[in-house]
Chains A and B, each alone.
Chain A
């Protein structure tokens, strides 16, 4: 491990950009939690009524909602679900049934009450609950224990456990446009959009935000995470709001979007995973969920609308990639992926990993090798334009653009949903491009990619499924051949970096045998069945081709296959 340490860390400590917690937008939001929830409820009701303008349409929508919710309760119950869930929805349903026999004049007000009940319930459920004390406590506990683990494991001296030679910053490398992110967070509202591979992402990114001296962000975290107690505690204290992917009904989705949009407008830095769910295949997200992303654009337009002239707080979108050697859930994720490949099916959120498994993993992570790196991408405006250091949007020729103009039609700002849907799609494409560009290739990613592609090439007639069914004992790659391919592809990666199309970790540049060794040792390092190993003859073998496929996918989408 020592042979190829990362370049000694530039990862210095960052001073907080805002002095005390009371100044943080997220704190302001939670202090006025009740008012904010009311605001969200009011605006969501208005929006829903715009979308379902007639009584009939609204009733149909509410009936569909009640039906789906009852179905969800029957089929897919979670620990975090409120105890009165079932009662609440059967009550709503009964009232809806009663409505159908009433005259329109009397039915109207009842309908409004029902809608408000539902929306307000959702808003309360979604809303985060940031508590400064608990935030501080969590932060210190995490820091303390992580440090103890690190030092205890790595400094081989008596009393090492209490040394402070290593900190988390040695384990988690934050690279990229850190300075820019800090400056943007002072000038405007940051919407951070990371890739999503593991449940750990949420905690990791929380630490990164703190380590960079940024105030806490509001978080769109999957409600399923709250099933795991330890996560629930972390997430709550980090300012998370809850996104329940089981609920696909219109009132819920509109309330969720409104919550995000209003929070951004109020200046709360936000974070959500635009992929929507963890990448099942190990691929970098290609298609993003547009719902929450659209709220950034909507919020920016609203801010312009509220301030017809002069300075407006800008919203900056910052793509981030998280680069791991190891993803705890990989075997199950890829299993899911293969099962539904080709069919557009909903993934059941199953978290087999409870608190104990996570702690065990964290322990291994801190005591053994395997670093994590976080690449901070350049800030973008809501249209995906690059920014200068002052947060001005730039066109490809480097001229400053007035972002307001994107919302102007014939001289004034207009509210055009179709236009903003299209803008959202454009922004999403820009983010995906940026992901690929800032993604950092590790030796382990490259080793996995090359080994899998070489096996694929040796069996050109087999499709993916047949390939994965080959007995692992039959698979062996000659080391010399593997080495030559590795060198060739690595050279290509160097070129692509120079063209600005991807990045790699500094350890990739070492002597080829050492890099390969490092790669093989690290890919999926803690899995029971290791995706790559060397056998006695020095050749490359695998114990789990499917998991290897998962790690290999990290480098799919760069057209590197042609160099195998």
Chain B
């Protein structure tokens, strides 16, 4: 009932990356969508070519480059920018936001705030004071409180081809979940609800760690048994870490947890997977990162998760070994050997 008339106002998508563009197209099935990109030329180019990153634009999508206009015209916004730029984007957007705005983001990553002189490389421990999820950044930087996030096994390419898929819309506010659901859902895209937004966000980030490990196993030439082992133990580790960071168990068992984890561990095209694969082939991290145009989110995630695990005294073996491989020169074989010999063999002890 509330939602009928919401379709009259356009919906905003912030960030015209792969995922942003595809989500804009999904939203555009039933309403007008404003797709924000930072600079005027890009907006003009998208408009004239009527496509972005190889995805044809739905006729309801209009590229824009003015945040003020975006905030004025839309009540509901979907920020889809990389975690590295998220806070800066929010600072620019914040002056135009009002308490009635609803933000549902689709960014998987942590935001790190460190005192001057410290960096992610040299800091030894991280706490939740320094590590924030995107929904927390939104609330810190703006007056918006009705925040949601969407997460799940959502490879942009498959979504664009209208292959069947699903996502989770998570928020403390039922209102936000219903709006997100109503806007995103179609006959090829199922939307699930979750009230534990922080858990869902954390699940979406932590799975990147396991994706690197999955690439590494593949690089060593191992098959499906090894992958099954990794995914199940990886999920357990995500639960441990996630709970320490303030998430609830359930989020990790759902679409945004196991669902996303399985997808990511099986998609050799992903950057995280590639990092692991090439490490296993004997390349060094700096060589691998040198040929990548974009940073693999998982590399930073390993750093952050390891330092959080140390602070909260969580046993996170896979993360810990990966950290040693990535930054301390351990080989993938050594790491694997350690894990296979580790004496603790309780399967599940958190339910």
Q: Does B94 contact A (CB under 8 A)?
A: yes
Asked if residues B145 and A395 are in contact (CB atoms below 8 Å), the reply is no
Which of chain B's residues has its CB closest to A416's CB?
B175
Asked if residues B175 and A419 are in contact (CB atoms below 8 Å), the reply is yes
**Known A395-B142, A419-B174: A405·B99 in contact at CB below 8 Å:** yes
Which of chain B's residues has its CB closest to A408's CB?
B100
In chain B, positions 33-50 with a C-beta closer than 8 Å to chain A are none
Q: Does B229 contact A (CB under 8 A)?
A: no
Residues of B within 8 A of A405 (CB): 98-101, 143
CA distance A178 to B140 in the complex (A): 28
Binary flags per residue of A414-448, CB closer than 8 Å to B gives 1, else 0? 10101100110010000000000000000000000
Residues of A within 8 A of B172 (CB): 422
Residues of B within 8 A of A418 (CB): 173-175
Asked if residues B95 and A410 are in contact (CB atoms below 8 Å), the reply is no
B306: min CB distance to chain A, Å: 22
Which of chain B's residues has its CB closest to A422's CB?
B172
CA distance A401 to B100 in the complex (A): 11
CA distance A59 to B145 in the complex (A): 39
Residues of A within 8 A of B344 (CB): none
Asked if residues B99 and A403 are in contact (CB atoms below 8 Å), the reply is yes
Q: Does B75 contact A (CB under 8 A)?
A: yes
CA distance A408 to B174 in the complex (A): 14
Residues of B within 8 A of A385 (CB): 143
Q: Does B316 contact A (CB under 8 A)?
A: no
Asked if residues A426 and B175 are in contact (CB atoms below 8 Å), the reply is no
In chain B, positions 78-114 with a C-beta closer than 8 Å to chain A are 94-95, 98-101
CA distance A409 to B98 in the complex (A): 12
**Known A397-B94, A399-B95: A406·B145 in contact at CB below 8 Å:** yes
CA distance A271 to B140 in the complex (A): 29
A369: min CB distance to chain B, Å: 39
A93: min CB distance to chain B, Å: 38
Residues of A within 8 A of B9 (CB): 410
Residues of A within 8 A of B3 (CB): 410
Residues of B within 8 A of A395 (CB): 94, 142-143
B139: min CB distance to chain A, Å: 9
**Known A396-B140, A406-B100: A383·B75 in contact at CB below 8 Å:** no
Residues of B within 8 A of A383 (CB): 99, 145
Q: Does B293 contact A (CB under 8 A)?
A: no
Q: Does B155 contact A (CB under 8 A)?
A: no
CA distance A322 to B99 in the complex (A): 33
A22: min CB distance to chain B, Å: 37
Q: Does A84 contact B (CB under 8 A)?
A: no
Residues of B within 8 A of A98 (CB): none
Q: Does B253 contact A (CB under 8 A)?
A: no
Asked if residues A409 and B94 are in contact (CB atoms below 8 Å), the reply is no
CA distance A416 to B99 in the complex (A): 15
CA distance A426 to B144 in the complex (A): 13
**Known A409-B175, A418-B175: A402·B99 in contact at CB below 8 Å:** yes
Residues of A within 8 A of B140 (CB): 396
CA distance A396 to B95 in the complex (A): 11
**Known A397-B94, A403-B99: A410·B5 in contact at CB below 8 Å:** yes
Asked if residues B2 and A414 are in contact (CB atoms below 8 Å), the reply is yes
Residues of B within 8 A of A416 (CB): 174-175
Asked if residues B94 and A419 are in contact (CB atoms below 8 Å), the reply is no
Q: Does B131 contact A (CB under 8 A)?
A: no
Asked if residues A409 and B100 are in contact (CB atoms below 8 Å), the reply is yes
Q: Does B244 contact A (CB under 8 A)?
A: no
Q: Does B6 contact A (CB under 8 A)?
A: yes
CA distance A395 to B3 in the complex (A): 28
Instruction: Kindly identify which residue among B2, B94, B174 contacts A410, using a CB–CB cutoff of 8 Å.
Output: B2
Asked if residues B2 and A409 are in contact (CB atoms below 8 Å), the reply is yes
Which of chain A's residues has its CB closest to B7's CB?
A410
Name the residue in A402, A406, A416 with the highest tally of chain B Cβ atoms < 10 Å from its Cβ.
A406
Name the residue in A395, A399, A414 with the highest tally of chain B Cβ atoms < 10 Å from its Cβ.
A395
CA distance A383 to B101 in the complex (A): 15
Which of chain B's residues has its CB closest to A410's CB?
B6
Residues of A within 8 A of B101 (CB): 405
Residues of B within 8 A of A404 (CB): 99
In chain B, positions 1-15 with a C-beta closer than 8 Å to chain A are 2-3, 5-6, 9
Asked if residues B99 and A422 are in contact (CB atoms below 8 Å), the reply is no
B17: min CB distance to chain A, Å: 27
Residues of B within 8 A of A399 (CB): 95
Residues of A within 8 A of B174 (CB): 416, 418-419
Binary flags per residue of B137-168, CB closer than 8 Å to A gives 1, else 0? 00011110110000000000000000000000
CA distance A397 to B97 in the complex (A): 12
Residues of A within 8 A of B143 (CB): 385, 395, 401, 405
B75: min CB distance to chain A, Å: 6
Instruction: Kindly identify which residue among A396, A401, A414 contacts B99, using a CB–CB cutoff of 8 Å.
Output: A401
CA distance A408 to B175 in the complex (A): 11
Instruction: Kindly identify which residue among A396, A401, A408, A419 contacts B173, using a CB–CB cutoff of 8 Å.
Output: A419
Residues of B within 8 A of A396 (CB): 140-141
**Known A406-B100, A408-B100: A426·B2 in contact at CB below 8 Å:** no
- Report, nearest first, the 7 A-B pairs whose CB atoms are least far apart: A405-B99, A405-B100, A408-B100, A406-B99, A418-B174, A395-B143, A405-B98
Q: A406-B99, A416-B175, A422-B172 are in contact. List 12 more A-B contacts (CB 8 A).
A: A385-B143, A395-B94, A396-B140, A402-B98, A405-B99, A405-B100, A406-B100, A410-B6, A411-B75, A418-B174, A418-B175, A419-B146
Residues in chain A within 8 A of chain B (CB atoms):
383, 385, 395-397, 399, 401-406, 408-411, 414, 416, 418-419, 422-423, 426
21 example contacts (A-B, Cβ-Cβ < 8 A) are as follows A383-B99, A395-B94, A397-B95, A401-B99, A401-B143, A402-B99, A405-B98, A406-B100, A406-B145, A408-B100, A409-B100, A410-B3, A410-B5, A410-B75, A411-B5, A416-B174, A418-B174, A419-B173, A422-B172, A423-B145, A426-B145
